[in-house]
Structure 1
Amino acid sequence: MTILIDKDQVIAGPTLVPAAHDLARDAGAELTIGLVNNMPDAALKATERQFMKLLLAAAGSRRIRFHCFSLPSVKRSPEAKWHVESEYSNLSDLERGKFDGLIVTGAEPIAPELDQEPYWRDLTNLIDWAKINTRSTIWSCLAAHAAVLHLDNIERRRLPAKCHGIFDCGVVTDDSLTRSAPAPLKVSHSRLNEIAESDLVQAGYQVLTRSEEAGVDVFVRQYASRFVFFQGHPEYDALSLQREYLRDIGRYLARERENYPRLPVSYFDAPTEEKLIRFERKAAHQRHPALSNELPALNLRADIGAGDAAAVLFRNWLRYLGADADASMSVR
């Protein structure tokens, strides 16, 4: 399914675009971008909306033809499978089309190693295709880890504790992608593993941003396509980390996980953190799913700036994608 994103449009979902918009190719410069959305079922629809809103905020007056895909080998519930089959384009259409840019998300791991995942062959085929068939591709979170493993055999490393929260990241390399970026960039991270900066540099990757607490954030490598890697989640909205944290509390209370989740870093305000610490103590003694009904009201810090840094980075990414299109328009 094709969606046309422009500055006058409110994006609610991938089906809510008037058919007439599909005829507006000659109204100005356009970019064709695909999202290969492999996120878990619970986050599937939220992820497509978040990326559409992020692109809408970054596009300015430029129009974007936006296509959603998902790897067919990602395991889905019947409901999520129906959504993908009825609302998304077939992955085979990706190879037949001409895409300026591609965004690829991670999937929920179910195997001990990435190269043992059921979707591994589909994903590596996509990586190889994107190298020569896009102007630039973004690999987000687990997809970034999978891509560098396939491309350069760089293994990710297990963290002693989950990297989860809003982290201040600084620009360490001058690059068009980070031009006019706020200082610091506040970025959402949510992962159990990391890629070591030393491994990336040794293999020829260029690190653009990093956090003292979370490590490498954005890094790049040039092939025929410019590959951009995010260890974090640029698409996350203000409540994404809260939803994950509450999900993990629920799994702990239901004894689906052994350890109580840590508080997201620099996310909740101080009074909320105090309430949640007291709730954790209670949960350790009264571990039962019904206890989730006693969770306190949650308030976020006022300075989390969710999405602000990502909007700048994606605006610069779209400018990179559109450089050739703008040049061709200027000589008409």
Structure 2
Amino acid sequence: MPIKIPDQLPATDILRSENIFVMSAKRAASQEIRPLKVLLLNLMPKKIETETQFLRLLSNSPLQVDVELLRIDNRPTKNTPTEHLDTFYRQFEMVKHRNFDGLIVTGAPLGLVQFEDVLYWEEIQAILTWAKGHVTSTMYVCWAAQAGLKLMYDLPKRTRKEKLSGIYTHRVHNPHHPLLRGFDDTFWAPHSRYADFSPEFLSEHTDLDILATSDQAGVYLAATKDKRNVFVTGHPEYDAHTLHNEYMRDLGEGMEPKIPVNYYQDNDPDKPPVASWRSHGHLLFANWLNYCVYQQTPYDLDHFSEDQFTKDD
């Protein structure tokens, strides 16, 4: 089934060119089903690129998904046209009176910034607190995972000495967990972060189910027992060239970055990268939409209640 997004959104033509079913609002309204209402809080500077990446993963489901885009920072940006933001993005004040089936909070280029120094930290706190009573399941990606752990468990910011960048292999720890259904015992996933998520630290300081880890990258996937909060420390949404673009950007800024590991053919940046994580990324989002959102959410969102959720699978 399709995702429902505005016809004028740049992602629409891109996804249709990839043979992804994108439905117009008029056609969606004629179907006698209730689409899942998913809110995407986009914290990345290149919003068009990021929204397209997440919409691609949300499309791989038999469910109809109605996606709304949310922004948090009203300052002008050099990476996204103001017209695009004004046309397609909502402010939190416009949606906070409503309930949603799902919320995705993207990463942000804030790996070396302390939480209290983030310009919109109070707004992040307000939205994540609001989600407890208005969203069935929230997925936190990369920096957002660190922010979510801070707000839910008061965990301090833990920063690596060197940036983690590349494609890493991960082990599945609970193959029967709904989020991992269909996963191989090991799988590849991209990382691009300074944050440190060690299994030992999260096991000691949280009650999360730790679902997938890497010897090099630490925890990749974890969730609360009621599946209402899912933490993804990497970037399953990344395109094949996203890490390459980040690497070239850092080179251009004189940062002397290390070559992303397990990424380029023969570890040579002059050769094209190999995308080895697409199947896992699509499966993760399909599982989240089905088992954490669709199977848990009320049919009538106006009757949303935290009391409906249990810790049972």
When normalised by structure 1's length, the TM-score is: 0.78
Which residue is 1:190 aligned to?
Answer: 192
Separation (CA, whole Å) in 1 of partners of 2:187 and 2:208: 20
Q: Deviations over 1:161-205 (max 9, x none)?
A: 211111111111241100111332211100012123223222212
Which residue is 1:315 aligned to?
Answer: 286
Q: 2:231 aligns with which of 224, 229, 232?
A: 229
The amino acid across from 2:191 in the alignment is: H
Distance 1:219 1:324, change over 3 A: closer
Which residue is 2:173 aligned to?
Answer: 172
Please tell me whether residue 23 in structure 1 is matched to residue 29 in structure 2.
yes
Identity across the alignment (%)? 27
Residue 136 of structure 1 aligns to a residue in which SS?
A: strand
Q: CA deviation at 1:18?
A: 3.4
Q: CA deviation at 1:131?
A: 1.6
Separation (CA, whole Å) in 1 of partners of 2:299 and 2:96: 25
Which residue is 2:263 aligned to?
Answer: 267
Residue 59 of structure 2 aligns to a residue in which SS?
A: helix
Residue 216 of structure 2 aligns to a residue in which SS?
A: coil
| Structure 2, gaps ≥5 residues long | 6-10, 16-21, 301-313
Which residue is 1:248 aligned to?
Answer: 250
Residue 135 of structure 1 aligns to a residue in which SS?
A: strand
Q: 2:273 aligns with which of 300, 315, 319?
A: 300
Which residue is 1:36 aligned to?
Answer: 41
Distance 1:155 1:205, change over 3 A: same
Checking the alignment, whether the CA contact within 8 Å between 1:103 and 1:138 is kept in structure 2 is yes
How many residues in Structure 1 have an aligned counterpart in Structure 2? 284
Separation (CA, whole Å) in 2 of partners of 1:145 and 1:30: 30
The amino acid across from 2:180 in the alignment is: T
Which residue is 2:308 aligned to?
Answer: none
Residue 246 of structure 1 aligns to a residue in which SS?
A: helix
The amino acid across from 1:248 in the alignment is: D
Q: Deviations over 1:203-260 (max 9, x none)?
A: 212211001111100111246x7100011012112111111111111111xxxx3xx1
The amino acid across from 1:217 in the alignment is: Y
Distance 1:110 1:195, change over 3 A: closer
Separation (CA, whole Å) in 2 of partners of 1:306 and 1:105: 18
Distance 1:49 1:157, change over 3 A: same
Separation (CA, whole Å) in 1 of partners of 2:14 and 2:38: 16
The structure where helix makes up a greater share of residues is 1
Checking the alignment, whether the CA contact within 8 Å between 1:188 and 1:236 is kept in structure 2 is yes
Separation (CA, whole Å) in 2 of partners of 1:314 and 1:227: 14
Distance 1:112 1:313, change over 3 A: closer
Checking the alignment, whether the CA contact within 8 Å between 2:40 and 2:103 is kept in structure 1 is yes
Q: Which has the larger radius of gyration?
A: 1
Separation (CA, whole Å) in 2 of partners of 1:52 and 1:63: 12
When normalised by structure 2's length, the TM-score is: 0.82
Separation (CA, whole Å) in 1 of partners of 2:281 and 2:128: 23
Checking the alignment, whether the CA contact within 8 Å between 1:267 and 1:300 is kept in structure 2 is yes
Which residue is 2:89 aligned to?
Answer: 88
Distance 1:110 1:316, change over 3 A: closer
Residue 235 of structure 1 aligns to a residue in which SS?
A: coil
Separation (CA, whole Å) in 1 of partners of 2:110 and 2:124: 13
Separation (CA, whole Å) in 2 of partners of 1:86 and 1:20: 18
Q: 2:203 aligns with which of 201, 204, 207?
A: 201
Which residue is 2:216 aligned to?
Answer: 213
